[in-house]
Amino acid sequence: MSIRFDGRVAIVTGAGNGLGRCHALGLAERGAKVVVVDFGGARDGSGGSSEAARKVVAEIEAKGGEAMAHGANVTDMAQVTDMVEKTMARWGRVDILVNNAGILRDKTFSKMDLADFKTVVDVHLIGSVNCTKAVWEIMRAQNYGRIVFTSSGSGIYGNFGQSNYGAAKAGVVGLMNVLHQEGSKNDIRVNTLAPTAATRMTEELLPKEALDLMTPESITPGLLVLVAENAPSKFILSAGCGTFARIVIEETDGVYFPETERTPEQIAARLGEICDTRGKAPLPGAFDQTKKLIAKAAAAKGVSVPGLS
């Protein structure tokens, strides 16, 4: 079945260059009206110009698509609100939000200034919160919405010198998990893309041979799946170099310790059992973890706890 976005309105942040530009072009090619949002700053977030966003709009329009540019800084809620208001004034709805804007200020944690830590978290995490908050009630009223957060292997697995970036990128996964639950009754599906691509953010970090494989175009098809009408929800998609994989957060079955054995020494001695992956499973939500742990304790003690089924 062909994936199309005819009649849909999509907002893509950080869309003046790299991956965001590719996402904007990909959505437009399949029929979406696209808001190209880009502050136009340097890789570290300094400066600012709407020229890059306007160029992407021109590309879309040259191919017969519809688009508008906006220079909102995603950390400024007033600017984000203005961007959404202008979108509504022009097209009357917002169906898709791709939170892609980002900056880098890499240093080891010991050398990092806290202002640089906060700035990166503000752009990646709070910027995603601002944009999502600005469209949330619109999507609820429509009973339709598709939202994607952009994470990274740095947030999920860690990367030396990126404590600020990694913390922010892990934060958006937690945000996705909650908004998936809160948006489900209004058909708002919330997913996360964990890409690796050759962009301004990575061009100085890898050899040319690797960068040649890491095209943004090799990632965008996966993004389009995450915002499609039949999209999944609460899905973390790893994407790069034309390979796509699912990242799953799981919990092992666990080991119950009776009170007489509930000591640090006993727990340390049985870490192998605690880590046994037989019976591991993803959990739908935090309360499912609570119920699982209560159930194991209740079974061990031979007691019945109402409401666990």
Q: What is the CATH number of the domain that holds 237?
A: 3.40.50.720
Q: What pLDDT, in 10s, does the model give residues 37-78? A: 998 855 555 555 678 999 999 999 999 999 999 999 999 999
Domain boundary among 208, 225, 247: 247
Record the tokens describing residue 23, joined without a space.
């996402």
Tell me what the mean pLDDT of segment 174-181 comes to: 98
Please check whether residue 96 lies inside any domain of the structure. yes
Domain count for the chain, please give it.
Answer: 2
Please check whether residue 307 lies inside any domain of the structure. no
Please check whether residue 187 lies inside any domain of the structure. yes
Query: Is the model's pLDDT at 200 over the cut of 70?
Result: no
Q: What's residue 198's pLDDT?
A: 64
Distance CA(120)–CA(92), nearest Å, equals 32
Please check whether residue 200 lies inside any domain of the structure. yes
End-to-end CA distance of the chain: 38
Residues 204 and 270 in one domain: no
Record the tokens describing residue 15, joined without a space.
């869309």
Residues 154 and 272 in one domain: no
Residues 205 and 285 in one domain: no
Residues 277 and 227 in one domain: no
Please check whether residue 112 lies inside any domain of the structure. yes
Please check whether residue 4 lies inside any domain of the structure. no
Count of residues making up the chain: 309
Residues 221 and 263 in one domain: no
Q: What's residue 202's pLDDT?
A: 60
Q: What's residue 273's pLDDT?
A: 97
Residues 199 and 57 in one domain: yes
Range of the structural domain that residue 265 is part of: 259-301
CB 40, CB 73: distance < 8 Å: no
Q: What's residue 210's pLDDT?
A: 77
Record the tokens describing residue 10, joined without a space.
């999509």
Catalytic residue status for 165: yes
- Model confidence at 112, pLDDT cuts 50, 70, 90, reads very high
* Residue from 100, 102, 107, 108 nearest 120 by CA: 102
Residues 154 and 202 in one domain: yes
Record the tokens describing residue 70, joined without a space.
């906006």
- Model confidence at 15, pLDDT cuts 50, 70, 90, reads very high
Residues 142 and 270 in one domain: no
Query: Is the model's pLDDT at 214 over the cut of 70?
Result: yes
Residues 166 and 264 in one domain: no
Q: What pLDDT, in 10s, does the model give residues 231-288? A: 999 999 999 999 999 999 999 999 999 999 999 999 999 999 999 999 999 999 998 9
Residues 238 and 269 in one domain: no
Residues 289 and 174 in one domain: no
Please check whether residue 1 lies inside any domain of the structure. no
List 144, 157, 165, 256, catalytic entry: 165
Record the tokens describing residue 37, joined without a space.
């949002």
Domain boundary among 247, 267, 282: 247
Which one is predicted more confidently, 288 or 4? 4
Q: What's residue 287's pLDDT?
A: 86
Query: Is the model's pLDDT at 309 over the cut of 70?
Result: no
Domain boundary among 223, 247, 271: 247
Residues 216 and 297 in one domain: no
* Residue from 183, 199, 98 nearest 149 by CA: 98
Please check whether residue 3 lies inside any domain of the structure. no
List, in order, residues 6 or more apart from 64 with CB less than 8 Å away.
Answer: none
Query: Is the model's pLDDT at 150 over the cut of 60?
Result: yes
Query: Is the model's pLDDT at 180 over the cut of 90?
Result: yes
